Amino acid sequence: MSYQSMWFRSAASQLQLLEQSLSFESVRAIVSDRLPILVKEMESKGLDLEDPTYWWELLFIDGAIKIENVQGKQQRVAIYLTNHWRMAVKTLAVIESRKFQMIRTDLGVDQHWIIFTDTKHPHSHDYWMDVLYGQIDTKPSKSGCALIEM
């Protein structure tokens, strides 16, 4: 887990936004069903398939939040953080694919955000709040995915 992931999870937890109801068992079952080739690749690399980290990385999810938009509707949002612009753009293309849209539906995830951010210093909780609430109140793209630059 990267520093920015730990800082994000800490901030989201403090802001009482961190979603913890996505179970490892459901993620594993959905990924095994929807992305069997990638699961076989994980097996061939000798990765520990009992380690949830690998499964979340496969879905480009560092954490999930449950956040209310301005209309009062709760949204479950998957978050992926990176400090490489090229990786952010490539990841956005992947998560906008039909396969990933089906996985999000299966997981009950409404939106998926790629956050391009600095890894040297954590952002303040107030800054996270501004970014997250600003994005949730922005009309989502057709895919429900977004690239956010911090």
Could you please report the per-residue DSSP string of 44-87?
HTT--TT-HHHHHHHTT-SEEEEEE-TTS-EEEEEEEEES-HHH
Q: Does residue 50 fall inside a structural domain?
A: no
Domain count along the chain: 1
pLDDT of residue 1: 58
pLDDT of 96 reads 97
pLDDT in tens, the chain (150 residues): 577 788 888 888 888 898 887 888 989 999 999 999 999 999 999 999 999 989 999 999 999 999 999 999 999 999 999 999 999 999 999 999 999 999 999 999 999 999 999 777 888 989 999 999 999 999 999 999 999 999
Range of the domain at 105: 3-19+60-149
Tell whether 24 is covered by a domain: no
Rg (CA), the chain: 15
The answer to whether position 84 is within a domain reads yes
Is 74 contained in some domain?
Answer: yes
54 in a structural domain: no
